[in-house]
């Protein structure tokens, strides 16, 4: 009898031990330490768009499509407990809340805001930092010289400076700004409708990977640089995708020049799949079918290797 019980006891102990060890041996996903998070993907007017009675916006009101926030990126460093914002969109209040609730909660609401230019979707979120809303002191805003002057000399933005709600740090073209030992940001001028300020894109560099952020540009051929060569230098390239093609809106495109997605796709047609895969389209007009995840147009372009920015997606640096 003892001879039978001993092996049974041993097997019971062995099974119990295996059950105890399984969770320890299970592989857990590696958490990102430094990364870019997409906080908004829509053009300045957002989605749904003011005054839009077309099917694209009706699909929001009938519950088919979700709201899309205006273009913005978050830069998060969990090691140093820091976070930055690229573009102060009209949706900035919820985008800052997303950074705090979904990524990292720190004493500062933000460690710095990088502005690209003076069009409404890219700086007007600064209004929420004034005394009517947040009302705290010395929130750091990084801007190019003309952008800085525009804010300082035009109300109501000048009040933010006068009341010291914001503190503006001047950027210089092609001059890197080191955020910490692992992260740096470099602005570079791009051609765009510069009624009130210059327009810049950003090169964001981490310890392992880097990214371009060019939400607005007139046309690729007007830039002194080659977008193809610039994409090849980085791991991710968030680029202007306002319109899909020439026929999307009944408006003179000379008033709102942007590179059509179809133009960018054609430009990269002879490049490798891996190069195309670095291109991440962002900044979609409400009329752009590629704004919606399941559109036929978007799926066809994805088959070629190109990517589309989606709110909440993170990219390791």
Q: Residue 252's pLDDT is what?
A: 65
> Looking at the domain assignment, is residue 7 inside a domain?
no
Predicted pLDDT at 23: 34
Q: Is the separation of the CB atoms in 310 and 301 below 8 Å?
A: no
Q: Is residue 83 part of a domain?
A: yes
Q: How far apart are CA 44 and CA 285, in angstroms?
A: 8
Q: Would 11 be classed as within a structural domain? A: no
Q: How many domains does the chain have?
A: 1
Q: List the end-to-end C-alpha distance of the chain, in Å, as a whole number.
A: 64
Residue 108 falls inside a structural domain: yes
| Backbone φ/ψ region at 199: left (φ over 0), alpha (ψ -120 to 50), beta | beta
User: Domain of 247?
Assistant: 31-311
| CATH number for position 256 | 3.60.15.10
- Distance between CA atoms of residues 226 and 96, nearest Å: 33
Convert 145-163 to b/e letters by CB count within 10 Å (16 or more is b): eebbebbeeeeebeebbee
Residues 6+ apart with CB under 8 A from 171: 114, 142, 143, 144, 177, 187, 200
Taking only the tens place, the pLDDT of each residue in 59-77 is: 889 998 889 999 999 999 9
pLDDT below 70 — which residues of the chain? 1-30, 249, 251-255
CA distance 160 to 137: 9
198 domain residue, yes or no:
yes
pLDDT at residue number 221? 95
């Amino acid at each position: 009898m003892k001879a039978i019980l001993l092996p049974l006891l041993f097997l019971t102990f062995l099974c119990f031990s295996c059950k105890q060890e399984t969770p320890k041996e299970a592989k857990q996903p590696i958490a990102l330490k430094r990364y870019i998070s997409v906080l908004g993907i829509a053009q300045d007017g957002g989605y749904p768009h003011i005054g839009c009675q077309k099917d694209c916006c009706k699909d929001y009101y009938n519950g088919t499509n979700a709201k899309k926030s205006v273009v913005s990126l978050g830069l998060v460093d969990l090691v140093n407990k820091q976070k930055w914002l690229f573009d102060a969109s009209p949706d900035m209040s919820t985008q800052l809340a997303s950074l705090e609730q979904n990524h990292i909660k720190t004493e500062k609401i933000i460690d710095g805001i990088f502005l690209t230019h003076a069009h409404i979707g890219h700086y007007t979120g600064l209004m929420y930092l004034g005394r009517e809303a947040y009302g705290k002191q010395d929130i750091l805003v990084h801007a190019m010289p003309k952008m800085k002057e525009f804010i300082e000399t035009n109300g109501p933005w000048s009040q933010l400076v006068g009341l010291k709600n914001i503190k503006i740090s001047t950027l210089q073209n092609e001059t890197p700004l080191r955020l910490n030992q692992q992260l740096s940001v470099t602005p570079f001028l791009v051609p765009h409708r510069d009624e009130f300020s210059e327009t810049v894109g950003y090169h964001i560099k981490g310890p392992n990977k880097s990214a371009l952020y060019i939400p607005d540009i007139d046309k690729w051929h007007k830039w002194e640089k080659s977008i193809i060569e610039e994409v090849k230098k980085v791991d991710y390239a968030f680029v202007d995708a306002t319109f899909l093609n020439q026929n999307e809106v009944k408006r003179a495109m000379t008033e709102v020049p942007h590179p059509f997605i179809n133009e960018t796709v054609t430009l990269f047609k002879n490049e490798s799949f891996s190069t195309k895969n670095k291109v991440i389209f962002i900044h979609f007009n409400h009329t752009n079918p590629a704004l919606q995840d399941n559109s036929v147009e978007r799926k066809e372009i994805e088959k070629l290797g190109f990517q589309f920015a989606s709110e909440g997606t993170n990219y390791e640096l």
